[in-house]
Amino acid sequence: MTYDAYLDREPVIITAALTGGVHGKEASPHLPETPEEVAEAAAACGEAGAAVVHLHARRENGERSFERERFQELTEAVRDRTDLIVQHSTGGTGAPDDIRHEPLRTDPAPDMASLDMGPLNRYQHLTSENTRALVEALGEEMQERDIKPELEVFNGGHLNEVHELLDRRPDLLDDPVHTTLIFGGGTTAMPTPDNFLSLVNHLPEGATFNTLGFGHHQLPFTALGIVLGGHVRVGLEDNRYFRRGELATNEQLVERAATLARTLERPIATPQEAHDILNL
């Protein structure tokens, strides 16, 4: 790639994963839990450069919830404060298959939703099978409701499943296929540049990719994703720290990703530019 071609690449879409469904305020006082807290964090991240927010709903006691009503309340709060693209999580270690559909059923539907592409073993030995039947069922509902799937790829086997799904059910995936390549933790590929480059090189033709690093892998993989022409996801769901021993805020992590992108001469995508890049 020539330097001119490097500069001509599309803007970087920054996704902010604000809260997740595992740890809460016991892990960091900066982690938002209520709709009001999440909306405030989303607005701050939008100002810092985020175009997409990845959302998990929680009950009043802070535990994760798949209830449609909780997602409805959460999404309305975010949309009242921002023009960001809203992405709901359907991932659920140990959660029954039927309730995994509930985050897709808000009115209006989210712009995007995550779709885990294969089995996972994590979080105190809980497992999530993510069978092909479940992946297809969630994909069918996303297609019916005009929700863009964000295909979560934790390892090479999951990338195989992306290709299998394209062969088996191409009607479920509109162009461009959008993936998230995930590193760090026992379910992922070894977090090395070689493995990252291998996954990027074996993506479906024309696919876009998001880059996600857990914990201390977040910063180096953010840089790698920007350099390789992809997009990035940061936030307290994936990483609680700004540097060793110093807790971060969601806004700080977005600001750092935006600074990296500008330093590497990649522009930052606005929500409307991200909407066009992802063909929402």
pLDDT digits (tens, 9 = 90+) for 141-184: 999 999 999 999 999 999 999 999 999 999 999 999 999 999 99
CATH number of the domain to which 43 belongs: 3.20.20.70
Is the pLDDT at 2 greater than 60, yes or no? no
CA distance 153 to 200: 11
Per-residue pLDDT band for 218 (boundaries 50, 70, 90) equals very high
Residue linked to tokens 């960001």: 84
Number of domains in the chain: 1
Tokens coding 235: 């936030």
Sign, Cα dihedral of 194, 195, 198, 199: negative
Would you say 220 and 228 are in contact if contact means Cβ atoms under 8 Å apart? no
pLDDT of residue 217: 95
Shortest CA distance to 16 belongs to which of 280, 224, 271?
A: 271
Is the pLDDT at 12 greater than 60, yes or no? yes
Quote the distance between the C-alpha of residue 164 and its chain's center.
Answer: 21
Is the pLDDT at 120 greater than 90, yes or no? no
7 or 113, higher pLDDT? 113
Is the pLDDT at 51 greater than 90, yes or no? yes
Is the pLDDT at 269 greater than 70, yes or no? yes
Mean pLDDT of all residues in 238-267: 96
Is the pLDDT at 77 greater than 80, yes or no? yes
Is the pLDDT at 30 greater than 60, yes or no? yes
Q: Could you give the angle at the alpha carbon of 88 between the alpha carbons of 50 and 166, nearest 5°? A: 100
Count of CB atoms situated within 10 Å of the CB of 275 = 18
Residue linked to tokens 């993936």: 179
Where in the sequence is the domain holding 141, given as residue range(s)? 3-278
CA distance 73 to 201: 40
Share above pLDDT 70 across residues of the chain, in percent, rounded to a whole number: 94
Q: Could you give the angle at the alpha carbon of 239 between the alpha carbons of 28 and 138, nearest 5°? A: 110
pLDDT of residue 21: 86
pLDDT of residue 125: 56
63 or 262, higher pLDDT? 262
pLDDT of residue 240: 97
Average pLDDT value over all residues in the chain:
93
220 or 22, higher pLDDT? 220
For every residue of 225-275, DSSP letters joined together read HHHTT-EEEESTTT--EEETTEE--HHHHHHHHHHHHHHTT-PBPPHHHHH
